Structure 1
Amino acid sequence: MGRFIWLLGSVAISFLEAAEKDNSFETVSIWTVILIVALVATGILFFASRQIAKLRKFHENMLAKQLEMEEKQNQILTNMSENIHDAAQQALKKSQAIIENNISSSLEKEQLMGDIEDQLLGVTNDLIYFLRLKSKKIEINNKPFNFNNVLNEVSGLLGTKHAGKEIELIFDVNNNVPRHLIGDSLYIGRILTNLFEYMFSNLTDEELKLEVSMFNNYEDMIDLQFRLRDTGPGIPAGESESLFVPYYNEEEGTYVRLGLFIAKSLAELMGGSLHVESLAGKGTTFILDLPMKLVDPENRRRYRLPDKSLIEKKVLIVDSNFNSALAIKKMFAYFRHDVRVIKKEDFEYAMPKMNDYDIIILKESLFSGNVLRHLQEIKEDNNEVKIIALNNLLNIKESVYHDGLIDAHLFKPVNQERVFELIISLYDMGVSKVLLEDHIGEEEGEHLPKAKVYKSDIVEAKGITQESFAEFAGKQVLIVDDNLINQKVLTNLFSNSGIKISLACDGQQAVEIVKSGKVKFDFILMDINMPVMDGFSATQVIRAERKFDAVPIVAFTALILESEKQKMFSCGVNAFLAKPLNVGKLYQAMSMFISNKAIEEAKDEEKKEREAVFEGLNIEKGITHTNSNEALYIELIREFVEAYGESDKTFEKLVHEKRYEQIKMLCVDMRGLSGTIGAAGLHDLVNEVYKYILFNKQDLLPGYVEKYAKELSKVKRAIEAYLFTKDMME
């Protein structure tokens, strides 16, 4: 059609030009020209109308897809309270069956209950993220951070949750990726964790690989690309578009793809993108692109070993997974090491001569028979040779070799930071030695006692409730964490205890608060992976002044390796708590340092507000739906008011405009949420509205506008009264 219009126009122009050459219109009838022009105009109109129709159809299809996606997103909240309750009941039934059959040890029973708590906590956290995204409350905070700290925390979370799985987890980080970047490290970690969780839940093979590359943009801007891939059967054709649309699987009683929806939403908020590529039989790849800034564009060398003697070592790597070995090779080669990789099968078939190597890295399963004898001989001839046992973070096992043969352990997945610290520690250069030294003389703080150090794992105290923390009434506690949800959960946990709380969002803020001297802290809970200044550095800076020696600093982090824990203790922490939050262990840690033995053991019955039932809101039932975690419940109802506190106005407008599909979506949201928080009246009302829409009785909806407003107002007043009561008890 376009070519036809162009042809008609060309003909018309040629006629006019011919007429001008003859200085007369006699060569061409004026009516002929008019006819041609009319045909051109008609063609243009016809073509334009066709294009408009196509665009209208395109937009209609897009709108339909958008509405379908929104409905699926909102349906995840339908009957949320019942779903969480059912999940808990099913897990409890399983544990009860194990107990009755006497086929489980007490340790296994505790592990099972811990898995149940983690599952429910994960659902609740995802729900809070979903609400914050819906109400547009999430803000991106671009600050300097250590990229490898993010990778370490992500791998630590996976190692804790998926311990024992026989999956090869590989980090293949390009050598041009900087150590320090400017971006939102909290949400980057959340995106990666959610992607890994999806891949773990759907993995059908034994390898999961994260490739990280950097592409220069302009000036100090770069693009960081993450490619997370498996080698499984792939995603069926046509399903990739809906992969980021969450829904509730009623048959299995699980929420599906909620984490992917959150990951994609966060990526787009950061100005990036997240999509998936998949081919049948060739695996699935998630591709995450994020724009970031360089902290120091002029300094492209991110890691510098402290001594020239540490470079140009000869390294041998033998691993059961060749791809993993190649990724590790790349990281050692960064430090100008001469690295050779041998396949495990080739090594077992014909063990090579290893006398000429400075560093020998072997999969620990290879340490047997002739290998052990050969390594012993090498050590006897040259004690400077370093032998490293290579293991998987998901399968951390106690080494059986205690005769000094193994110099260090290296756990996969590996990144530059871990290799850098390993090389330094191998040659006694010190990884992160404490900045303090014992001084002799009459200096300030010389006679101040030091807080005790507990390097063993903290044992969980049983039967701990929110009221138990009143044991520490009057104590000054500093919470250092860049995660706002973690801050709120901890703050709410301490809300009735009488504990005086201060907050810091990064290590730099923590240092400034402590050094200001305005508050004398009794206890510091220190996250490790934070922007601006991480927990390692913040602890070192605080410990640099002797007057703070008596202040206990307890690390609260997802890092779980012994080398990471040792680094924390070297920096000056006094104890270690692993994420996610375990209330019993937190109470035990605080008891170890700041127990207030003078407080009466009897608790005031009036403080048990969780038994109160406010009009329109059953608090006790709502708390039960969050696995009896009142702190999480408080956070949930705050987010509910923020996201849907004005939904009565939205409902009225939608009814007036007869936008029934949108009303249906709102009902899906409110059915799940109202049931979850214990608002039974509101739950029943929106359920009625939802049924009227399903049965095409939309003419009854105007009668529910005032009812909806009254019921929502009742719930909001109940929430306000409950939160006011909690505040008064502080």
Structure 2
Amino acid sequence: MHKIEKLFDINIVLMTLFSSLETIREEKDIELIYDMEATIPKELRGDSDVLLRVLSKVLTFVCQNTDKKEIVLSLDAPEDFVYEEFISFTIKDTHIEKDKILEFLDANINYELKILEGKIVYENDADIHLDLPFKISELGHRRHYRLPDISMLGKKVLLICENETIAHSIEKMFKYFLYDVDVGFDAFKAQGNDLTPYDILIVDDHLNTEEFEHIIARIQQNIPLKYVLLKDAHIVESKTISVTTNLVKPVTEESVYELIISLFKNQTGRREVRSHSKMNIVDLENVLQVNKDHEMPVNQSSKIQESLESMIEKRRGLELPILDKAIGEANTKNMGLSYTHELKNFLDTFERSDLYFREIVQEKSIHKMKEFCIDLERHAKLIGAESLFRLAETLSLIFVYDKLDMLPIYPGKYHIELEKLIEEIKKELQMK
């Protein structure tokens, strides 16, 4: 029997496998997850068609007979993949009787195993364990993915995914590139609920909300945060406010590699130094779509109110300049803009906006208020209007914590801050 040794990409085999099982996965509502160790080469030599046939048979059998809603296919290989090594394909916790599994394997994949020169491993705690030998594509080619530019190294990731298995799998893939990864709400809380240190935020699509996108859009004005949604393959694209791109399931080492390149391809050749002087605090567990079907207990709502009022009180005590010319000129110069032009633009846009703000607060038009606050923050920050920018940040906190009953006092506060700023801007323009 002639053994075929053609070059193939293991990721393409896995993606094809995922697609071929789509019907039965959807019928039984099963999540198929790939758990790939960093030792798996991207390119191999062997018979990819027969490999696909074996995996398809095995996973079809498992899907047909399991009562689990989550199936994990794990791939592992020796640390030193020198020339030809066994790759282990294992599936655990299928809830299928061991005798039934062995009977199926003996009857249905022996022919393919002979072609591949592989074997069934019986003395293992996995329900299914196949060892299949493949050759590496190039001798001495040990590290299988290399990022093309130094600017793509040293990133920090926050991953919010309710499925712990998927989260663990994605975490390992990012760590392959030596990325620092925090997983889950508890890890984020340990960082003080501060998004400032992170380069990438990955969130389950079903947890995302329009409100949260507005929050991220505000934060992206302060830090270059890449917001990525973890999506099912069949989810239709929708218009988003702050999402940079999507990471589509099933996640493989290849898709993480491509994600990193797509996020940072325009920053090659330079290392970005970010300022940690200002924190970007968000209570992710509160603002994401987590357990929203359950009404918040009264005492918890009271604690949130107290926390918010405390944060606002701290901000109130800060003495900030009405118009910091040095900051404004630096901001506009970095963006290739004219400071004078942006001051005039602010006047044209916001000179009578206190009347509009009062009107939308009275109307309780949430969407208009959110849009207004995001726009106000962006323009105030650009020209160095530090005091008004802080007020806009406070308004955003009120939306984050859903304490809209605190809003009625702010049209008056905004009117006073706006008048002071307009006076300073007009003085600055007269000096030109």
**TM superposition score normalised by structure 2:** 0.56
* 1:627-706 equivalences in 2 (<5 Å): none
The answer to whether residue 385 in structure 2 is matched with residue 385 in structure 1 is no
C-alpha displacement of 1:273: 0.8
1:297 alignment counterpart: 139
- CA–CA distance in structure 1, aligned partners of residues 87 and 9 of structure 2: 14
C-alpha displacement of 1:379: 1.6
Match of 2:30 among 167, 183, 204: 167
Match of 1:235 among 87, 92, 97: 97
Identity %: 28
1:412 alignment counterpart: 249
Q: Larger Cα Rg: Structure 1 or Structure 2?
A: 1
Amino acid in the other structure paired with 1:243: F
Match of 1:360 among 164, 176, 201: 201
- CA–CA distance in structure 2, aligned partners of residues 351 and 320 of structure 1: 20
Aligned to 2:195, the other structure's residue is in SS state: coil
1:489 alignment counterpart: none
C-alpha displacement of 1:399: 4.1
Is contact 1:146-1:179 (8 Å) kept? Answer: yes
Is contact 1:209-1:228 (8 Å) kept? Answer: yes
CA deviation vs aligned residue, 1:98-153 (integer Å, no higher than 9, x gap): xxxxxxxxxxxxxxxxxxxxxxxxxxxxxxxxxxxxxxxx7531122212221121
Is contact 1:318-1:347 (8 Å) kept? Answer: no
1:306 alignment counterpart: 148
C-alpha displacement of 1:371: 3.1
C-alpha displacement of 1:154: 1.2
Cα distance change of structure 1 residues 356 and 362 upon mapping to structure 2, 3 Å threshold? same
Cα distance change of structure 1 residues 358 and 241 upon mapping to structure 2, 3 Å threshold? closer
Match of 1:426 among 242, 250, 263: 263
Amino acid in the other structure paired with 1:226: F
Is contact 1:315-1:357 (8 Å) kept? Answer: yes
The answer to whether residue 239 in structure 2 is matched with residue 397 in structure 1 is no
Aligned to 1:323, the other structure's residue is in SS state: helix
- CA–CA distance in structure 2, aligned partners of residues 309 and 149 of structure 1: 28
- CA–CA distance in structure 1, aligned partners of residues 235 and 28 of structure 2: 13
- CA–CA distance in structure 2, aligned partners of residues 346 and 425 of structure 1: 26
- CA–CA distance in structure 2, aligned partners of residues 340 and 418 of structure 1: 19
- CA–CA distance in structure 1, aligned partners of residues 213 and 181 of structure 2: 22
Cα distance change of structure 1 residues 216 and 264 upon mapping to structure 2, 3 Å threshold? farther
* 1:300-699 equivalences in 2 (<5 Å): 300-342=142-184, 352-368=193-209, 371-382=212-223, 384-393=224-233, 396-400=234-238, 402-428=239-265
C-alpha displacement of 1:428: 3.8
Cα distance change of structure 1 residues 403 and 415 upon mapping to structure 2, 3 Å threshold? closer
C-alpha displacement of 1:330: 0.8
The answer to whether residue 106 in structure 2 is matched with residue 272 in structure 1 is no
- CA–CA distance in structure 2, aligned partners of residues 267 and 192 of structure 1: 11
Is contact 1:217-1:223 (8 Å) kept? Answer: no
C-alpha displacement of 1:216: 6.4
Is contact 1:169-1:412 (8 Å) kept? Answer: no
Amino acid in the other structure paired with 2:53: R
Amino acid in the other structure paired with 2:225: V
- CA–CA distance in structure 1, aligned partners of residues 248 and 27 of structure 2: 14
Match of 2:58 among 195, 212, 236: 195
- CA–CA distance in structure 1, aligned partners of residues 52 and 180 of structure 2: 33
2:412 alignment counterpart: none
Give unmatched runs, 5+ long, in structure 2: 268-432
Cα distance change of structure 1 residues 285 and 411 upon mapping to structure 2, 3 Å threshold? farther
Cα distance change of structure 1 residues 380 and 219 upon mapping to structure 2, 3 Å threshold? closer
2:6 alignment counterpart: 143
C-alpha displacement of 1:412: 2.1
- CA–CA distance in structure 1, aligned partners of residues 49 and 102 of structure 2: 27
1:244 alignment counterpart: 105
C-alpha displacement of 1:374: 2.7
C-alpha displacement of 1:416: 1.1
- CA–CA distance in structure 2, aligned partners of residues 278 and 293 of structure 1: 24
Cα distance change of structure 1 residues 198 and 139 upon mapping to structure 2, 3 Å threshold? farther
C-alpha displacement of 1:207: 1.3
Amino acid in the other structure paired with 1:308: I
Is contact 1:145-1:181 (8 Å) kept? Answer: yes
Cα distance change of structure 1 residues 407 and 161 upon mapping to structure 2, 3 Å threshold? farther
Cα distance change of structure 1 residues 208 and 347 upon mapping to structure 2, 3 Å threshold? farther
C-alpha displacement of 1:388: 0.7
Amino acid in the other structure paired with 2:95: P
Cα distance change of structure 1 residues 380 and 160 upon mapping to structure 2, 3 Å threshold? farther
Is contact 1:240-1:276 (8 Å) kept? Answer: no
Amino acid in the other structure paired with 1:386: K
- CA–CA distance in structure 1, aligned partners of residues 81 and 95 of structure 2: 39
C-alpha displacement of 1:339: 0.9
Match of 1:178 among 34, 41, 44: 41
C-alpha displacement of 1:420: 1.0
Comparing 314-323 with 267-276, greater Cα deviation is found at 267-276
C-alpha displacement of 1:315: 0.6
- CA–CA distance in structure 1, aligned partners of residues 85 and 105 of structure 2: 26
Cα distance change of structure 1 residues 166 and 391 upon mapping to structure 2, 3 Å threshold? farther
1:494 alignment counterpart: none
Aligned to 1:243, the other structure's residue is in SS state: helix
Aligned to 1:162, the other structure's residue is in SS state: helix
C-alpha displacement of 1:300: 1.0
Cα distance change of structure 1 residues 403 and 220 upon mapping to structure 2, 3 Å threshold? closer
Give unmatched runs, 5+ long, in structure 1: 1-137, 247-260, 431-730
CA deviation vs aligned residue, 1:623-661 (integer Å, no higher than 9, x gap): xxxxxxxxxxxxxxxxxxxxxxxxxxxxxxxxxxxxxxx
Amino acid in the other structure paired with 2:104: L
Is contact 1:235-1:278 (8 Å) kept? Answer: no
CA deviation vs aligned residue, 1:336-389 (integer Å, no higher than 9, x gap): 21111115x9879x993323211110001111266334312212223x311111
Aligned to 2:171, the other structure's residue is in SS state: helix
- CA–CA distance in structure 2, aligned partners of residues 210 and 163 of structure 1: 17
C-alpha displacement of 1:167: 2.4
Amino acid in the other structure paired with 1:387: Y
Is contact 2:81-2:142 (8 Å) kept? Answer: no
Amino acid in the other structure paired with 1:244: L
C-alpha displacement of 1:156: 2.3
- CA–CA distance in structure 1, aligned partners of residues 261 and 101 of structure 2: 45
- Aligned residues, how many? 267
- CA–CA distance in structure 2, aligned partners of residues 208 and 202 of structure 1: 12
- CA–CA distance in structure 1, aligned partners of residues 192 and 182 of structure 2: 14
Cα distance change of structure 1 residues 153 and 351 upon mapping to structure 2, 3 Å threshold? farther
- CA–CA distance in structure 2, aligned partners of residues 205 and 168 of structure 1: 9
Aligned to 2:71, the other structure's residue is in SS state: strand
2:20 alignment counterpart: 157
C-alpha displacement of 1:269: 2.4
Is contact 2:214-2:241 (8 Å) kept? Answer: no
Amino acid in the other structure paired with 1:150: V
2:89 alignment counterpart: 226
C-alpha displacement of 1:297: 2.5
- CA–CA distance in structure 2, aligned partners of residues 285 and 203 of structure 1: 12
**Two-structure CA RMSD over aligned residues (Å):** 3.1
